[in-house]
Each structure stands twice: as structure tokens, then as C-alpha cells.
Amino acid sequence: MAMTMTQKIIAAHCGRDSVGPGEIVMAKTDLVLGNDITAPLAIREFEKYGFDKVFDRDKIALVMDHFTPCKDIKAAAQCSEVRAFAGAYRISNYFDVGEVGIEHALLPEKGLVGSGDLVIGADSHTCTYGALGAFSTGVGSTDMAYAMATGKVWLKVPSAIRFILKNKLGKWVSGKDVILHIIGLIGVSGAQYKSMEFSGDGLSCLSMDDRFCIANMAIEAGAKNGVFAVDDKTTEYEKLKRKRSVIYTADPDAEYERTFEIDLSLARPTAALPHSPGNTKPVDDCGDIPVDQVIIGSCTNGRLEDLANAAMVLHGRRVNRNCRTIVIPATQQIYLDALKMGFISTFIEAGCAVSTPTCGPCLGGHMGVLARGERAVSTTNRNFVGRMGHPESEVYLVSPAVAAATAVAGALATPEKIGVV
């Protein structure tokens, strides 16, 4: 039976020769992930059902990244609960303040995920690791509890949509623009419970950071997962992380529900307007939209290349005094690398605030909550009503380069519009 890349990974983790779309299967997990919001719920379920051991203390990751450093007493209680569980069960991969990073940037950086893996996490953006050729998907906290105890998870095998990427990206166009274009094309339910599988000669122009960004936002099209064909860039990245992996490839006659050819050379800097990641438009067609706050960071766009692009735009410039600008490196290592490369001083000299790694502003948690009537341009992944604060605020999703240009202009802008060529 011909299978897609995703179906092959699932079959291997079920100990089967093949699986088909729609089948319900029990699969072994290579890693189980939780954070300071979702892990406490899983821990309570774990204890409620009387589990007294974890399946493998080295294959569970607990990352305190959403409301840390703790913003209030409730957040502190959540982290305390997870901290106690991690200590009691000697969880190897527990990450707290000082060594923490935004989970979906941190785990690849630590070499904890790789091609051929099956990874579940109690966070919808767990699909990020598909950039490495893994099957990774978000689950509920009850599923996380069961997986922590047994190392297994129930899955419904997804059908697939194929995206053939062709040609090369232009100047100031990135993976964020590609995925926003795709979500605008197919809609936020266009890949509902399907696998988005990316291949084609256009992959060669996409950096790993571009791929992480694209896979991260597969869930915004409703997908079960997003996954990239493994190539030389993938294997080189995994060598650096010392991650031993298994490579799966789709069968030539694998069945896809639909196939889209995406010409990367035609992609333009793109924005998702309120209040949906699918409400997209080229930035140059959006008009002059004043902005109160800019966020550069998140599990979508807080990696080193993202900060480099923002720094190139901000170098020698100042942010508009009416536009608060917050930069959040996604991990401590990225922060250190950005410091060594001069990006942090560029941001501070430009008038930005630079934060420790946190998810905070992305979900309206802390470090940048919006007031009523305020408008933000952000490199995050969601712009639902009230996502970053007051229900009557607005969020526009863009790439780091566009976010930085917007910060300077005080209104939605491309780098070219402020004279950066």
C-alpha cells in the first residue's frame, strides 16, 4: 500500500507495514511535551488514574515558557506543580527560568526531536518539528498524561495535501510570507485534520528557520501536522545537534487529496489582517495602518535568522516613538548568539525592549498585553479576537523584516518602504 511520509512514520511507530487514512491506531511516542499551562492538567490526570511511574524519564520534556518568569501567583503555582512532578520522577528534560526557551525552538536546539520521530505535545504548535521530517502534533492534556505513563498515544491517520514548492524567494520574503500566503489560499480549515506535506526544488532556498516557521503554522490551516521532505539542509542541521534520525520518504504513488504548486518567486511580503491567519493580503496592498506595538519573537519567528533580519532593518534607525517594540529571542542560546553578533545592541539602540525567552505576549499573557483599541503588528502565529489582550484590540501577523520596518515607520510597512534595500 502506497503511503505518504506522515503515514510511513505512523506505521513504523505502530509496528505495522502500512496504515491508511482514517484508521485509528495506537502509536509509540519518541517524546512527550508539556508546558506550564498544559502540564499541570496532565499531571492531575496522571495522578487521578493512579499512575506511579513514567514510561521513560528521558522522553518527556517539560518547558516553563508561557507565563515565566511567573507573572502572578497563579502562574507561580502552576510552575511549582510541574517542578515538583519533574523532581519526583527525575524528568531529564525539565527547563525552567534561566535555561528555558520557547518550547518549539528549544527542543530542536537541544537535539530532542528529529526526522522520523513521532512527537506529541500538549500545545497546538507542536507541529513545528515537521520541519525536520518528524510527525509531530498537538494533543490534549489527558492524552499527554496517558503518554507520560505508557509512551503511547491514540491517533487517527490523516490523509494528506501536497505542496510542491518551486523556484526561489525574493528579497525580504521569508517562510512566514509563504505560510501566510498558503493559509490565505486554502483557508483556516483548508487542511482540516490532514497532513500538509512540503516538497519540491524550492526547498533548497528555504532555511531551517523558514521551515520551522512554516511547519509551526500548519495548525492555522487546521492541519494535523506539517512535514518537510528531508534534504541536505535537514541532515546537516541534525548533525550539528547530534541527533540520530530515521528518514522516511513518501512513495511515488502516494495518494493526496489535493496538490498545490507554489511558485516562491511570486511570493510577496504578506500580512494576516484581523481577526484570522487566513485573512491575508500583500503588505504593499494594505495601505497606511498606524500601529501601537510591534512584537518580534515567538515559537514562529524568534530564531536567530529572524532576529538577524529584524536587526538588518533596524540597524542605524530608531523605532517610532508611538510604537512600542518588544524583541524576544526564543531561547537563551539564541539570545547569547544574538548578543555576540551585535543584534541585541542594535535593538536597544533602536529603542526596543529586549526580553528573556517567553511566550507571554503571543497569547496575551504578559510582556506586551494590548489595551482597548490598540493595534499590534506581530511575528506570532495567531490574531484571533482578544488573542493579545483586549477583545477590541487588533493583531496583524507578519514576518520579522516587516515587523521591524513597521516599528520604524509607526505604520504597517515593508523594508523597502522605509528605504532598506
pLDDT, residue 268, reads 97
pLDDT, residue 189, reads 96
pLDDT, residue 279, reads 98
Give me the CATH number covering residue 367.
Answer: 3.30.499.10
pLDDT, residue 118, reads 98
| Residues 281 and 384 occupy one common structural domain | yes
CA distance readout (Å), 191 to 161, 185, 229: 7, 11, 18
- pLDDT tens-digit series, residues 105-140: 999 999 999 999 999 999 999 999 999 999 999 999
| Residues 255 and 117 occupy one common structural domain | yes
pLDDT, residue 243, reads 72
pLDDT, residue 421, reads 87
pLDDT, residue 178, reads 98
- pLDDT tens-digit series, residues 163-174: 999 999 999 999
pLDDT, residue 1, reads 85
CB neighbour list of residue 167: distance below 8 Å, 6 or more residues apart = 201, 202, 205, 263, 264, 265
CB neighbour list of residue 348: distance below 8 Å, 6 or more residues apart = 354
Distance between CA atoms of 400 and 409, rounded to whole angstroms?
Answer: 14
Q: Which of 245, 263, 281 is at the close of a domain?
A: 263
| Residues 278 and 393 occupy one common structural domain | yes
Average pLDDT value for residue range 229-248: 90
Average pLDDT value for residue range 70-87: 97
Closest CA to 238 of 126, 144, 115, 155: 115
| Residues 169 and 276 occupy one common structural domain | no
Task: Give me the chain's average pLDDT, please.
Answer: 97
Residue 244 has pLDDT above 80, yes or no: no
Q: Which amino acid is at 167?
A: N
Domain count, the chain: 2
Closest CA to 66 of 391, 388, 369, 366: 366
| Residues 9 and 151 occupy one common structural domain | yes
| Residues 392 and 339 occupy one common structural domain | yes
Average pLDDT value for residue range 290-315: 98
Distance between CA atoms of 177 and 186, rounded to whole angstroms?
Answer: 14
| Residues 251 and 324 occupy one common structural domain | no
pLDDT, residue 153, reads 98
Q: Can you give the residue range of the structural domain that contains 248?
A: 5-263
Q: What is the pTM of this model?
A: 0.97
pLDDT band at 357 (very low <50, low <70, confident <90, very high): very high
Residue 240 has pLDDT above 90, yes or no: no
